[in-house]
Chains A and B, each alone.
Chain A
């Protein structure tokens, strides 16, 4: 049961990383690419870490895996803002349809 749940979460994680990368390649400007990378990869990482934590040997090892998530989340949120802010300061106009 836990094996299956873990596998489903790992596959979901892989899917979101894939979708984030597709967004990076297909979206038209720096701002929308940042959306794709920050949001989809963050969700993919969360799924992958939960999937791995379910298979961990001890509670502490599982928590250690889960601890990675808030750290990466904080990093990607603030770096996303930093890049968008810099792009805006450089006068890069957002893509419009």
Chain B
């Protein structure tokens, strides 16, 4: 468990260093130290939990997220050019079915980039959203995102 996290995170930081150094090889001594320090800090700050991320879930989440943030950006750009006439703002409240912790935080943050929705308050499982256009199917889209986030985190014991 810990060996696997150590290996995966180390590999990730090696890739990150390679990118930051733009593929040059003369900095690997410093890079090695940085990778070791980063891996140590990451294990210290975010110990390998019983929750891990599934690759298939990650791909499905990213596909949905990127597509919808593209839609969201285009939609709000169109509304901005039309002016406040295009807006029909409202506050909606809904119950989150995700467990507390990283899953909920990811949901609230991701919603800010989805079409028409912005997280305003998260009190326990009670989520309050500001929506730009009350006619949009925000609740259905939030539910779809919730399902994807549930599939993203795998609970292993």
Residues of A within 8 A of B (CB): 15-16, 19-20, 22-23, 26-29, 31-32, 34-36, 38-40, 42-44, 58-61, 63-64, 67, 73-74, 76-78, 80-81, 84-85, 87-89, 94-97
**What's the A-B contact tally at a CB cutoff of 8 Å?**
130
Residues of the B chain whose Cβ atoms lie less than 8 Å from the Cβ of A44: 73
Question: How far apart sit A39 and B73, CA to CA, in the bound complex (Å)?
Answer: 5
Contact assessment for B121 and A77 in the assembled complex, using a CB-CB cutoff below 8 Å: no
What is the CA–CA distance of A78 and B20 in the complex, to the nearest angstrom? 24
**When A23-B76, A60-B21, A85-B120 are in contact, do A77 and B89 touch as well, CB less than 8 Å?**
no
Q: Find chain B residues with CB under 8 A from A88 CB.
A: 120-121, 128
| A31 & B130 in contact (Cβ 8 Å cutoff) | yes
Chain B residues within 8 Å of A, Cβ to Cβ: 16, 18-23, 69-70, 72-81, 83-84, 87-91, 108-110, 112-113, 115-116, 118-121, 128, 130, 132
Interface centre among B72, B73, B75, B132 (most CB of A within 10 A): B73
Q: How far is the CB of A74 from chain B (nearest CB, A)?
A: 7
> Which chain A residue shows the least CB distance to B108?
A81
The residue on B at minimum CB distance from A45 is: B73
Interface of chain A, helix or strand or loop or mixed? helix
B139 to chain A, nearest CB (A): 17
Q: How far, in whole Å, are A31 and B129 apart by their CA atoms in the complex?
A: 10
By a CB distance below 8 angstroms, the chain B residues around A76 are 112-113
A85 to B84, CA, bound (A): 22
